[in-house]
Amino acid sequence: MRSAHASSVAVLACALALTGCQGGVSQKGEGSRNKIKIGTITSLTGSNAAFGQAHKNGYAIALDELNSRGGLLGKTVELDYYDDQSRPDQAVQGVSKLVDLDNVPIILGAYSSENTRAIVPAVTQKQVPLLMPTATADNVMETGSPWTFRICAGSGAYATATVAFLKGMGAPKTMAIIYENTNFGQSNAQAMQAAAKQAGIEVVDTEAYQASSPDYKTLLQRVKARSPAVIYFASYLLDASTLMRQAEQVGLNPAYYTSAGTGFAAAEFPTPDKGAGRNAEYTFSVSQWLPSAKWKGSKEFDDKYVQRTGSHPAYHAIEAYITLLAAAEAIKKANSTDPKAIRDALKQLDMPETTFGPIRFDSKGQNQHPVLITQVQGGQYKVVWPGDAAESKPIIPTPPWTKR
Amino acid sequence: MERFFSALQAILNGVLTGSLYALIGMGMALIFGVMRIVNFAHGAFMMVGMYVTYLLFQGAGLNPYFGFIGSAMFLFLLGYLFYRGLLKPIRGRSDFMQILLTLGFGLILTDGIQLLFGADYHQINLPLLGKNLRLGSQISLNAPWLISFGIALMLGALLYFFVMHTMLGRAARAIAQNRYAAPLMGINVDRVQALSFGIGVAAAGVAGGLLLPVFYLYPTVGDQFTLKAFVMVVLGGMGSIQGAAMAGLVLGVVENLTSLYWGNEWALAVDFVIFLSVLSLRPSGIFGSQRV
């Protein structure tokens, strides 16, 4: 049944493609018996394409490693990409396409919290495990679905780490939260509200915004009027750059610019050509990994990434990389491509030494991953917290724009 | 006093942003006036204008504040050819087909750019970006936005003059008033419509070029502006270009005041509340009569 289905799909694909199809049907029939397809949903186009590319590069490095070691269960591993165009409705369509048409036994993705939250009901209904590399909004793990697993640390951990860092650095009293108004921003803003309250930091302003806007000057002006000591951003990359450029125009000078990673932790962010350039200087960010991380293989991953892309990776890339390796490990342990067997293997998964630290999922499917705080110093991300991992001392307070 | 200055600052920011909106809206209004179709490719044309300006900057080192001229010329040609090649053959058929055609062409532009230049985003980094004009201690205006305001003002006036005082502009207005009577008066409708379409999208191209230094570009970046332009056309009175220009400024100021008093996330919502109220309460627009 399965191979008949596969060949009918192949015929359809041929009819659509019309080219490059010589002997396609028989090849495909044989091919699918010798291949394991892993479904991947990410944002290859649209406003989050920079992160989708980071995913793709991370996955590609892991795929090379897997196949050069002989693949999985004696078969070659193949990635089946679905581009969600940075839109949640497309991500949901991706689940249908990957599961119903391509019969993938597991899905990795999506990139954003918004899109990941959107596909949780779909994978739960279709009973396919979903392994999340980068969605930090904690509500993606709060649905009670037994099919979801998350590699990265979430919004709660981000807020707790940032507050702990601030407490150790002079314990500022007031904070403003500025967040993009989709799932990622909302979830991180909520987590920070709670964490700040617990630590006795007064949140004097919260500002939600649309991430595609060219103009945040009035928003920043509003924040400036409340003069908070700390600003906590939850932003994607393009908006992060615009915000920091316009923070200078408005003359917004908090003692600490902090952030929930993502845009503020992207490799492009401190560069002048693709980010905020010098305006990124002194900003703090939560981070999950850096090329200088202590875990074995970090340096090698960095080298491979630079060789492939010409630039250094941020944590989004390695989270994709490790997600594919964890999926492969689960398939190997399950010794099967049955979605349920893979799900059960994920629950038992224990990878004590990976490039991203130990990987183990708790009863809710969450991998406990430690969080670092970095600061942009001289155009580079430097770890400044916690103390035992710090490469550099934090520069505080942030110098005002006129004194830079 | 503090409150007064923050409101003033928001209004000034709104006028600066609104001047770019106005250019986009005027182009859309010109096309709507002369052809009675909503150009759903307007944002995509604007995005192409951003790419042209970007390529001129990267390839030839041409400053975007001159590069936008190249963008305008390219878009004029593109719009003119689009009309001649695709829109003209289906003139006289249902409006619905023409709307679908512009929608489809917008997708082709977006995907074509993506094919040529990839989905990755780009930005340029002018030293000008960090320069601000300070008025007293309270008000500061960012240099690139000021320059684009000046250029938009000039071009907006030029476009207004063109429509009101040139033969071609009069012909365009005549078609807008009655597309069946105009040819009887000796007006070459095809020629005027082709030129108007070219000029309309060229205005979007200029706005794209002027926005580039303070924004970023990727293939779908123009989409949000199609919707804004549509709102301006409706507010401005369905095809009145001075109405659309006013609507652009109003939109910019309202967005910024909303942002100041309620928060940025409400800015878009307020746009559409105004849009819907105008559509239902005063369908001829807030800025008067139904003419170009």
Q: Which two tokens mark A403?
A: 């004194």
Q: Which residue has the higher pLDDT, B280 or A132?
A: A132
The mean per-residue pLDDT over the stretch A290-311 comes to: 92
The residue range of the domain holding A223 is: 155-287+371-403
Q: Which residues of B touch A (CB under 8 A)?
A: 2, 6, 9-10, 13-14, 17, 114, 119-123, 125, 129-130, 132, 140, 142, 211, 214-216, 218-221, 224, 255-256, 259-260, 263-265, 267-268
Whether B31 is in a domain gets the answer yes
Probe site for chain A from B107, B145, B259 (most A CB atoms < 10 A) = B259
Nearest-Cα distance to chain B for A214, in Å, is 6
Residue A78's DSSP bridge partners are A37
Whether B3 is in a domain gets the answer no
Whether B274 is in a domain gets the answer yes
Provide the pairing of β-strand A230-234 with A174-180: parallel
Q: Is the preceding omega at residue A62 within 30 degrees of 0, hence cis?
A: no
Residue A227 contacts B where some CB pair is shorter than 8 Å: no
Whether A18 is in a domain gets the answer no
pLDDT tens digit sequence for B84-110 = 999 999 887 888 888 899 999 999 999
Check whether A39 has a pLDDT greater than 50. yes
Whether B67 is in a domain gets the answer yes
% of chain A at pLDDT higher than 90:
83
Across the interface, whether the CB atoms of B140 and A251 are under 8 A apart is answered: yes
On chain A, the residues whose CB falls within 8 A of the CB of B265 are 181, 207-210
Roughly what angle, to the nearest 10 degrees, separates helices A183-199 and A113-126? Answer: 110
Whether B1 is in a domain gets the answer no
Provide the pairing of β-strand A148-150 with A202-209: unpaired
The mean per-residue pLDDT over the stretch A48-59 comes to: 93
Shared domain check, A323 and A215: no
* pLDDT of the residue at B292: 45
Of A130-139, A282-291, B176-185, B192-201, the range with the lowest mean pLDDT is B176-185
Shared domain check, A167 and A234: yes
On chain B, the residues whose CB falls within 8 A of the CB of A219 are 259, 263-264
pLDDT tens digit sequence for A193-239 = 999 999 999 999 999 998 888 899 999 999 999 999 999 999 999 99
Whether A28 is in a domain gets the answer no
DSSP structural state of residue A254: -
Shared domain check, A56 and A145: yes
Shared domain check, A379 and A326: no
Shared domain check, A145 and A129: yes
Q: Which two tokens mark A114?
A: 């918004």
Q: Which two tokens mark B194?
A: 């082709």
pLDDT tens digit sequence for A72-117 = 999 999 999 999 999 999 999 999 999 999 999 999 999 999 999 9
Nearest-Cα distance to chain A for B189, in Å, is 38
Q: How far apart are CA B180 and CA A259, in angstroms?
A: 61
pLDDT tens digit sequence for B171-191 = 998 988 888 898 898 999 999
Whether A1 is in a domain gets the answer no
- Under 8 Å CB pairs connecting chains A and B tally to 93
* pLDDT of the residue at A24: 35
3-state DSSP assignment of residue A40: strand
Check whether B203 has a pLDDT greater than 80. yes
Of A100-114, A258-272, A273-287, B227-241, the range with the lowest mean pLDDT is B227-241
Across the interface, whether the CB atoms of A242 and B10 are under 8 A apart is answered: no
Q: How far apart are CA B68 and CA B90, in angstroms?
A: 31
Q: Please name the residues between 234 and 253 in chain A that touch chain B, using a CB distance below 8 Å.
A: 238, 241-242, 245-246, 248-251
Nearest to A218 among B10, B125, B130 (CB): B10
Nearest to B114 among A45, A47, A222 (CB): A45
Across the interface, whether the CB atoms of A214 and B214 are under 8 A apart is answered: yes
Across the interface, whether the CB atoms of A272 and B215 are under 8 A apart is answered: no
* pLDDT of the residue at A32: 59
Check whether A259 has a pLDDT greater than 50. yes
The mean per-residue pLDDT over the stretch A248-273 comes to: 93
Residue where the block lists tokens 């002997």: A23
Shared domain check, A355 and A384: no
Shared domain check, A139 and A114: yes
Contact A397, A172 (CB under 8 A): no
* pLDDT of the residue at B23: 95
% of chain B at pLDDT higher than 70:
98
Whether A24 is in a domain gets the answer no
Check whether A29 has a pLDDT greater than 60. no
Whether B179 is in a domain gets the answer yes
Q: How far apart are CA A5 and CA B158, in angstroms?
A: 63
Q: What is the pTM of this model?
A: 0.86
On chain A, the residues whose CB falls within 8 A of the CB of B221 are 212
A261 CB-near residues (< 8 Å, 6+ apart): A136, A158, A285, A286, A287, A288, A315
Check whether B256 has a pLDDT greater than 80. yes
Shared domain check, A219 and A129: no
Of A107-111, A273-277, B66-70, the range with the lowest mean pLDDT is A273-277
Check whether A249 has a pLDDT greater than 70. yes
Whether B290 is in a domain gets the answer no
Shared domain check, A354 and A231: no
Residue B27's pLDDT band (boundaries 50, 70, 90)?
A: very high
A290 CB-near residues (< 8 Å, 6+ apart): A298, A315, A372, A374, A381, A383
Whether B234 is in a domain gets the answer yes
Number of domains composing chain A: 2
* pLDDT of the residue at B289: 57
Q: How far apart are CA A273 and CA A238, in angstroms?
A: 12
* pLDDT of the residue at B17: 94
Q: How far apart are CA B247 and CA B232, in angstroms?
A: 5
Shortest CA distance from A210: residue in chain B: B265
Which CATH number fits the domain that encloses residue A308? 3.40.50.2300
* Average pLDDT value for chain A: 90
Number of domains composing chain B: 1
Q: Write out the DSSP string of A149-183.
A: EE-S--HHHHHHHHHHHHHHTT---EEEEEEESSH
Whether A148 is in a domain gets the answer yes
Shortest CA distance from A242: residue in chain B: B215
Q: How far apart are CA B18 and CA B24, in angstroms?
A: 10
Distance of CA A103 to the CA centre of its chain: 25
Check whether B165 has a pLDDT greater than 90. yes
Shared domain check, A300 and A282: no
The mean per-residue pLDDT over the stretch A152-162 comes to: 96
The residue range of the domain holding B160 is: 12-118+141-281
Across the interface, whether the CB atoms of B265 and A210 are under 8 A apart is answered: yes
Q: How far apart are CA A278 and CA A284, in angstroms?
A: 14
Q: Write out the DSSP string of A65-122.
A: HHHHTT-BTTBEEEEEEEE-TT-HHHHHHHHHIIIIIT--S-EEE-SSHHHHHHHHHH
CA dihedral over A341, A347, A350, A351, signed as positive or negative: positive
Probe site for chain A from B264, B268, B271 (most A CB atoms < 10 A) = B264
Shared domain check, A195 and A211: yes
Check whether A337 has a pLDDT greater than 50. yes
Shared domain check, A352 and A243: no
Task: Please tell me whether the interface predicted TM-score (ipTM) of this complex is above 0.95.
Answer: no
Q: Is the preceding omega at residue A386 within 30 degrees of 0, hence cis?
A: yes
